[in-house]
Amino acid sequence: MNASSNTEILTTESDYPIILNPDPVFLTLNPKPEASSNDLVRVEGWLISKTDSSLMDSSRKFFKKLKRKLKNPSLFTKDEFIGMLNSYLEKNSERVGASAGVDPSDKGYTSKLVEKVGFFYG
């Protein structure tokens, strides 16, 4: 609730711009037993899966490269962007074990790829 009501503009970018589903994480968090009711409760058990970590690193690299390319948009062609996006989606689909079931030679390959596996990436 506080995050949605905060009108302050962020000045730094997140290292991980992809939103992850945190629900399973909350089930594994456990407060330290020695905490009294008046103390702050430190939480243990916060782990990020290797798959999520791999996706975050891949996404961070993709967005960093995209940001660098967009500094000079006149030299960044549509074909180059489509190639980067296709590669990003294909590699990450393999990481999560999802198959788009789309042939790269199909017309509208990128659109179909985004439709089939884009929901993995926020």
Q: Which residue has the higher pLDDT, 84 or 24?
A: 84
**What percentage of the chain carries pLDDT values higher than 90?**
22
Provide the domain count of the chain: 1
Amino acid at 122: G
State the Cα–Cα distance between residues 32 and 43, nearest whole angstrom.
Answer: 7
Give the range of the structural domain holding residue 96, as residue numbers without chain letter.
Answer: 2-121
In the prediction, which pLDDT does 106 show?
85
Lowest mean pLDDT among 36-45, 55-64, 73-82: 36-45
Instruction: Give the DSSP letter string of 54-114.
Output: HHHHHHHHHHHHHHHHTTSGGGS-HHHHHHHHHHHHHHHHHHHT------TTSTTHHHHHH
**What is the structure's pLDDT at 16?**
57
Q: Is pLDDT of 1 > 50?
A: no
Report residue 62's pLDDT band, with 50, 70 and 90 as the boundaries: very high
Q: In sequence order, what are the beta bridge partners of 30?
A: 44
Q: Is 40 buried (19+), middle (13-18) or exposed (0-12) by CB count in 10 A? A: exposed
Element (H, E) at 2: helix 2-5
Q: Average pLDDT of the chain?
A: 77
Q: How confident is the model at residue 34 (pLDDT cuts 50, 70, 90)?
A: low
Nearest 5 degrees, angle CA 120-CA 59-CA 80?
Answer: 100
Contacts of 58 (CB under 8 A, 6+ apart): 88, 91, 92, 95
